[in-house]
């Protein structure tokens, strides 16, 4: 996880050093930030399901709760990403 944060920070630093248009910045934001979040959600969801299946017999109640909380948070965050991409970013790109 530290590598992901470090590489994201490095990409953000490089972006600020470059002269980019507002539209280029918004496109990069969607690719670098939103794309990475979606990828991490997918990976985490797969691993969490695997842990749930493997350890259900001994930790079922706790893992079901964790799975439920993660799923709700993931859903809320994905809705926020779509809202940003469909409402906020287009408003920002209009001059």
pLDDT tens string 1-30: 556 556 666 766 665 667 778 888 888 888
Average pLDDT over every residue of 33-38: 90
What distances in angstroms separate CA 74 from CA 5, 16, 27, 45, 58, one per listed residue? 18, 29, 22, 9, 25
Average pLDDT over every residue of 34-61: 96
Please give the Cα distance from 61 to 56 (Å, whole number). 8
Token digits of residue 90: 């287009």
Identify the three-state secondary structure at position 73: helix
Indicate the angle between helix axes 35-83 and 2-17, nearest 10 degrees. Answer: 70
């Amino acid at each position: 996880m530290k590598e992901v944060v470090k590489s994201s920070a490095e990409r953000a630093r490089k972006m600020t050093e470059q002269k980019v248009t507002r539209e280029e910045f918004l496109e990069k934001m969607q690719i670098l930030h939103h794309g990475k979040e979606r990828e991490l959600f997918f990976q985490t969801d797969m691993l969490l399901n695997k842990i749930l299946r493997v350890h259900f017999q001994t930790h079922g109640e706790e893992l079901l709760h964790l799975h439920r909380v993660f799923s709700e948070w993931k859903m809320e965050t994905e809705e926020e990403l779509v809202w940003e991409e469909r409402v906020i970013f287009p408003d920002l790109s209009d001059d």
